[in-house]
Structures are given as C-alpha cells and as structure tokens.
C-alpha cells in the first residue's frame, strides 16, 4: 500500500479491482452460501469477547418504510442542532439509529458512490441497533443522537467541505461507522469498574480502554460477517484504512484520554500541519476525525436544556446503578456513584468549564461554523451556574425515577 491516507486512495469501479478483491476473500462452501447462519453462530462471534450482539436473524434485507411522522422527524434531523432523538425513537418503534443511518447514507449518496451493498447495510444496522443494551445512557438512542450530531458537524458545520473533495465519501463513511459502533455492547459500567473487578474484558484488553476496545472488536465481528459486510465491494486497502481510522476515533472516546487529545488538537491547528488552501492536510485527518466524534459523543451538552437535563438524568442513573453494583460486590463506591449522596448532576459546572467549553472552543477555532454547538454549550453552562439548583435537582430526580430497569444482562 503506497499511502496510508484517504487522500491518496481512489475507489475504482472496474472488473479488475473487483476480481482482485474477491480473490482475497476466504472461500465458502455452497452450503454456507445457500443458508443463513444459525443464531448461535453470530452470538458466538462476539461471545468470545465476553459480551455482544444477540440478534438471531437477518430480517433487514428488504425494503424498510417509515410512516409520515417518522419522515417528518427525519426531515428535521437533517438540519437540527438540537434534535429530539427520543421522539424519533418512539415514533420509529425503537429504530431511531437505523432510520437516521439509512437517511444519511441515502442523502449523501454513499451507497452509489462507494458501491455499498444496501441489503447488507440494513442487516448491519439492524444488528447494531439490537446489540445495544438498554442502559439508561449508553444505549442505541444515545448512539442515534451521536450519529445525527456528527452528520450536522459534517454538513451544516461545513467540516466535510474542509476535506479534499475526492476523499469526502470515504471520510463520511468512516465517520458514520465510528458513530454507529462507538458504544456497541456497552455494559453500563465504566473502564475503572471493569479493571478493578478484573472483568474478562479488562483481562482480554490488558486494562487498556476495555470498553472502547470491546465496542470495536464486537462491532467489527458483526460488520465483517458475510451477511452484514456492506463494504465488500471496496478494495481491501480502503477497508483496512477505514478500519484503522474508526479504531483510532473510537479509542479516543475514552475520557481518560480527553485532555491529551484536546492538547494535541490545539497544537495541530496552530501549526502548518493542519490545513493548506482551506483543506485538511492528510496527516491531520486522523486527529480531526477523533475530535469530531468526541464532539458528537458529548452533544447532549449542546442541545436544548430540557433535552440536556433528560440525558443528565440518564447518565446519573447509569452511574448510580454502577455504584449499586459496586456496593453489592463489596467494592468501594466510585465518586458520584453513591445513590445516597449528590450525583454527577451536582458537578456540572466544573464539567462544563474543564471539559465541554474547551472542547467546542477548540473545534470552533478550527471550523468556525461549529460555533452553534459552542454557544449552546455556554447556554447550558449558564443553566447550571445561574439556575435554581434545588429545582434542577428535583427535575433530574423525577426524570431518573421514570427510567426503566436495564435488561439483557444480570449484575
């Protein structure tokens, strides 16, 4: 491979490339090709990692049609910096992630431009959506919001236009995949819990970002399943580069790496290695994409205050449930996770000032149209600084009380 940059790769639509790619694929027997795998086969592919998808069939290859209320919400999702993803989740009967992904893939012409397999794309999205556990916060709804926010950054934030035009379809595909899989199979506990309890994920990944490594490994096992590999027509070197970038992006969502990533990005945008003639230079692509996913991952801090408080309540409840589990197994209860004490909602002022505002300031310095997110984050910061804290705490507590119990795994 001559280049490790998307800028240097060109997708050729010719028989020679397709034949070369097909020759690199492992051979399957006619019996394997003719029949669907048994449910346990796909489970086993991720169960070897400890946790994973539990989907049992492939019902997504046909046409997927959404009714008018869903279509109206999807139209709003195309242009909203404060999208109500909960409403879409309800209207789509639990398919917000699939609905948004199919919409964006279609709007941006990725299926045609990159010769993606539409049926296998639907299979992949269906398995992703069903493989997310219904944690209060780290669930498929959060992932749908992250995807929608990343799409807004690329389009209305005009970040996509800052990339070389020839590479833009691959940049988008890479970013969408990273958003869709970034919390896949999340168990509702943080990395410290996994490490200190010597969970199998921590053992498997040698205590290095066990959650993020698991999301990647489990999701890629699904993606490269023969019935879900919608990228099968792309040249192998392109697939390898997309995978490399996605891995880099998702690993940097580990909050223990947050400040180092922000520092690296600020150094980059002040250097000559960032842009030339208004276009992101090849060596800067990786870090820019990491920052975009981080910004999208924290987008609940940049939406309308009523939606923001809903997500704060969900995150606080998920953290309390980890504290409950720590107490049951005799571990020290982690900070802000003791249900009998003030939770993370009591520390939002510091969180905004140390984490959120600097993140969006850095991104806005590089891409000025992202200032919409920065201004919204400042509005929510003012809510925590100037609002009636007892009233806000009561609102958060009421929202937490309405969150259903987590299913699909047993503490």
What would the pLDDT profile of 131-189 be if each residue is shown by its tens digit? 999 999 999 999 999 999 999 999 999 999 999 999 999 999 999 999 999 999 999 99
Q: State the pLDDT confidence band at 15, using cuts at 50, 70 and 90.
A: very low
- Which long-range contacts link 312-315 to residues 24+ away (Cβ below 8 Å)? 312/344, 312/345, 312/348, 312/396, 313/345, 313/395, 313/396, 313/397, 313/399, 313/400, 313/403, 314/136, 314/137, 314/142, 314/399, 314/400, 314/403, 315/136, 315/137, 315/344
Decide the pairing of beta strands 279-280 and 275-276: antiparallel
State pLDDT tens for residues 311-333: 999 999 999 999 999 999 999 99
Question: Is residue 179, in this structure, part of any structural domain at all?
Answer: yes
Give me the pLDDT at residue 304, please: 97
Question: Is residue 298, in this structure, part of any structural domain at all?
Answer: yes
Which residue has better confidence, 212 or 24?
212
Question: Is residue 213, in this structure, part of any structural domain at all?
Answer: yes
Alpha carbon of 347 to those of 14, 72, 344: distances in Å? 56, 37, 5
Q: Is 388 annotated as a binding residue?
A: no
Q: Tell me what the mean pLDDT of segment 111-125 comes to.
A: 96
Question: Is residue 249, in this structure, part of any structural domain at all?
Answer: yes
Question: Is residue 165, in this structure, part of any structural domain at all?
Answer: yes
Considering the chain, what is the average pLDDT of its residues? 88
Pair 74, 103: CB distance under 8 Å? yes
Q: Which residues of 134-150 are buried (b: 16+ CB within 10 A; e: fewer)?
A: bbbbbbbbbbbbbbbbb
Helices H / strands E in the chain, number of each? 21, 2
Q: What is the CATH number of the domain that holds 131?
A: 1.10.1300.10
pLDDT at 1 over 60: no
Among 41-50, 288-297, 341-350, which stretch is predicted with the lowest mean pLDDT? 41-50
Give me the pLDDT at residue 63, please: 59
**Coil, strand or helix: which one is 34?**
helix
**What percent of the chain shows pLDDT beyond 70?**
83
Question: Is residue 295, in this structure, part of any structural domain at all?
Answer: yes
Question: Exposed/middle/buried for 163, CB within 10 Å: 0-12, 13-18, 19+?
Answer: buried
Q: Is 23 annotated as a binding residue?
A: no
Question: Is residue 35, in this structure, part of any structural domain at all?
Answer: no
**What percent of the chain shows pLDDT beyond 90?**
82
Catalytic residue among 127, 138, 205, 308: 138
Task: Record the pTM.
Answer: 0.87
Q: Tell me what the mean pLDDT of segment 90-96 comes to.
A: 96
Residues 6+ apart with CB under 8 A from 77: 83, 88, 100, 103, 148, 151
Among 33-47, 214-228, 261-275, which stretch is predicted with the lowest mean pLDDT? 33-47
Q: Is 139 annotated as a binding residue?
A: yes
Pair 158, 213: CB distance under 8 Å? no
Query: How many separate domains does the chain show?
Result: 1
Q: Is 141 annotated as a binding residue?
A: yes
**Coil, strand or helix: which one is 279?**
strand
Question: Which one, of 303, 309, 321, lies nearest residue 377 by Cα?
Answer: 303
Q: Tell me what the mean pLDDT of segment 269-291 comes to.
A: 96
Q: 138 an active-site residue?
A: yes
Q: Tell me what the mean pLDDT of segment 80-91 comes to.
A: 98
Residue span of the structural domain in which 69 resides: 60-401
Give me the pLDDT at residue 9, please: 60
Question: Is residue 68, in this structure, part of any structural domain at all?
Answer: yes
Residues 6+ apart with CB under 8 A from 34: none
Q: Is 28 annotated as a binding residue?
A: no
Among 4-13, 71-80, 281-290, which stretch is predicted with the lowest mean pLDDT? 4-13
Which residue has better confidence, 357 or 408?
357
Q: State the pLDDT confidence band at 65, using cuts at 50, 70 and 90.
A: confident
């Amino acid at each position: 491979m001559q280049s490790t940059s998307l800028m240097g790769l060109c997708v050729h639509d010719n028989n020679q490339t397709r034949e070369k790619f097909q020759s690199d694929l492992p051979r399957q027997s006619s019996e394997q090709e003719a029949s669907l795998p048994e449910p346990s086969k796909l489970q086993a592919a991720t169960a070897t990692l400890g946790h994973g998808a539990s989907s049992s069939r492939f019902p997504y290859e046909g046409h997927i049609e959404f009714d008018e209320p869903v279509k109206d919400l999807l139209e709003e999702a195309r242009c909203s910096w404060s999208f109500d993803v909960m409403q879409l989740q309800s209207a789509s009967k639990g398919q917000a992630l699939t609905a948004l992904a199919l919409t964006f893939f279609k709007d941006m012409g990725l299926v045609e431009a990159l010769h993606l397999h539409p049926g296998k794309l639907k299979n992949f999205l269906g398995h992703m959506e069903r493989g997310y556990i219904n944690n209060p916060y780290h669930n498929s709804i959060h992932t749908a919001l992250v995807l929608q926010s990343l799409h807004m950054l690329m389009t209305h934030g005009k970040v996509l236009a800052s990339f070389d035009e020839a590479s833009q379809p691959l940049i988008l595909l890479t970013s969408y995949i990273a958003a869709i899989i970034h919390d896949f199979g999340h168990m509702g506990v943080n990395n410290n819990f996994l490490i200190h309890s010597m969970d199998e994920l921590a053992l498997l990944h040698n205590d290095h970002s066990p959650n993020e490594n698991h999301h990647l490994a489990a999701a890629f096992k699904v993606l490269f399943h023969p019935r879900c590999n919608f990228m099968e027509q792309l040249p192998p070197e392109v697939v390898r580069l997309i995978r490399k970038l996605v891995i880099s992006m998702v690993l940097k969502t580990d909050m223990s790496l947050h400040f180092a990533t922000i520092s690296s990005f600020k150094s980059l945008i002040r250097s000559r290695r960032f842009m030339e003639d208004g276009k992101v230079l090849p060596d800067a692509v990786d870090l820019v994409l990491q920052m975009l996913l981080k910004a999208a991952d924290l987008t609940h801090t940049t939406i309308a205050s009523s939606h923001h408080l809903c997500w704060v309540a969900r995150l606080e409840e998920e953290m309390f449930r980890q504290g409950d589990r720590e107490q049951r197994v005799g571990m020290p209860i982690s900070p802000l996770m003791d249900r009998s004490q003030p939770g993370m909602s009591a520390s939002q002022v510091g969180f905004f000032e140390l984490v959120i505002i600097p993140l969006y300031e850095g991104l806005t310095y590089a891409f000025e149209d992202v200032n919409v997110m920065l201004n919204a984050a400042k509005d929510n910061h003012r809510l925590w600084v100037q609002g009636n804290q007892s009233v806000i705490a009561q609102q958060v507590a009421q929202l937490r009380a309405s969150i259903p119990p987590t299913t699909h795994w047993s503490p």
